[in-house]
Amino acid sequence: MASKYDGLARIIIQNVGGKENIESLTHCITRLRFKLYDEGKAQTDILNETDGIVKVMQSGGQYQVVIGNHVSDVYAAVCERAHINGDAPTNGAVAKEKQNAFNAFISVVTGVFLPFMGVLAALGILKGVLALLVSFHVLNGAGGTYNILYSLADSLFYFFPVILGYTASKKFGLDEFTGLILGATLVYPSMTSASVADVSNFLGIPVIMPATGDYTTSIIPIIIAVWFASILQKRIKKHIPDAVKSFITPLIVLIVTVPLTFLVIGPIASLVSNGISMFCNFLYGVSPAVLGLFVGLFWQVLVMFGLHWAIVPIGINNIGLMGYDIVMPCMIATTFAQTGAVLAIMLKTRNSHLKGLCIPAAISAFCGVTEPAIYGITLPKKTPFFITCIIAGIGGMVTAILNVKEYSLGAMGIFAWTTFVGEGEVSGMIRAIIVSLAALAVAFAAVYAVYKDTEKEA
């Protein structure tokens, strides 16, 4: 079916080196994330000058083409025109380039978490709204309406192992249904803390469950389990006759991986998860101000290179273990600082083209997506970008000092406000709103005071 983005898709495909140079393709909220066999074949300068493309970034082992809020439509057009299946390899004949540990980590994080971030944001908003309605006695927290809607809002968080079992399988090359079964086994009713079934041992070997009592809401154990299962599948597949391969392979993989997960992988991964949360709490305990300043100050720099996804799993892990997160709230001021800066430039500039760019960029930033504002306006101007970083750092420091906690993740900008409602009170949301609006106002005033059009723009 023809798309209005077909022309842009053709330009992108041609200038990333053609479809034969595309190893895989995914997208996040604003970017096409290519994994190219040879980035040297890409015509970055041409792409940067193409209408419809905000910026091209090469980071974390990925070739990232920043599109904007309509990236999913462009992604679909690229996949259709290049005849590729998204993150599926397009040319198995070319050997994969070895990545360093950090790039490999970023690749895993984006491949595993990005596919469901939109749904995660939607359910996070719903969860916050429900908590808000209960706090104001609009809904009965024990009533049928609340319980049904809360089941919807909490389902993704509760069944994280199942969802991650699927996305991690696609990333690591494991059969997706095998990954789904691995995740489903971890949250099977008999394996939850509410069950009275005896799961204390396997063949006489003690089973050590995580501190939370079960693996619901957990993220690290299933990812490691799927990674191990993918290696095992590759090793045994070539030794199994084709006539029985379709069912013998998953049988062996599951019967080996599931016990190993409960006996070894799960306990070790749970220690890692607990260690990450303890480290975050330790930093918070030593100095909330330092933690908040660091996250707020550097968040936009991480966003520029697509490296902020290295921090997102920390927040998800904290919520799974503690029910709340103290790290991600420290970036709440960043999107509003960008909004204020762009609004100031819009009112101050006499350049009609720049003014036209500011309007959608400000709306996008207010809703939590800052790439159009960063790449299109504040970063090229340099000073406004540095101002927003400083204000975001101060906002992060204040957020941490005020002990603002986030109870669900995924939503951004104004849509994130309801995620700060939890434990029967709304004071966290009020503090988050105050920090947000203060960042917007201060950034607006600071940028308005110093901004001047260049001679070329005037």
How far apart CA 322 and CA 341 sit, in angstroms, is 35
Q: Is 28 a catalytic residue?
A: yes
Closest CA to 81 of 160, 22, 167: 22
Give the side-chain half-sphere CA count within 13 A for 345. 35
What single letter denotes the amino acid at residue 405?
K
In terms of DSSP bridges, do strands 31-36 and 205-206 run parallel, antiparallel, or are they unpaired? Answer: unpaired
Per the residue annotation, which of 28, 79, 280, 389 is the catalytic one?
Answer: 28
Rg (CA), the chain: 23
Q: Which residue is listed with tokens 């199942």? A: 162
Other CB atoms within a 10 A radius of the CB of residue 144 amount to 8
Contact partners, residue 398, CB within 8 Å, separation at least 6: 292, 333, 435
Long-range contacts: 375-383, Cβ < 8 Å, 24+? 375/54, 375/55, 375/66, 375/304, 376/54, 376/55, 377/341, 377/342, 377/345, 378/338, 378/341, 378/342, 378/345, 379/304, 381/345, 381/451, 383/447, 383/450, 383/451
What distances in angstroms separate CA 370 from CA 54, 195, 207, 287, 349, one per listed residue? 12, 45, 46, 28, 20
**Active site positions, annotated:** 28
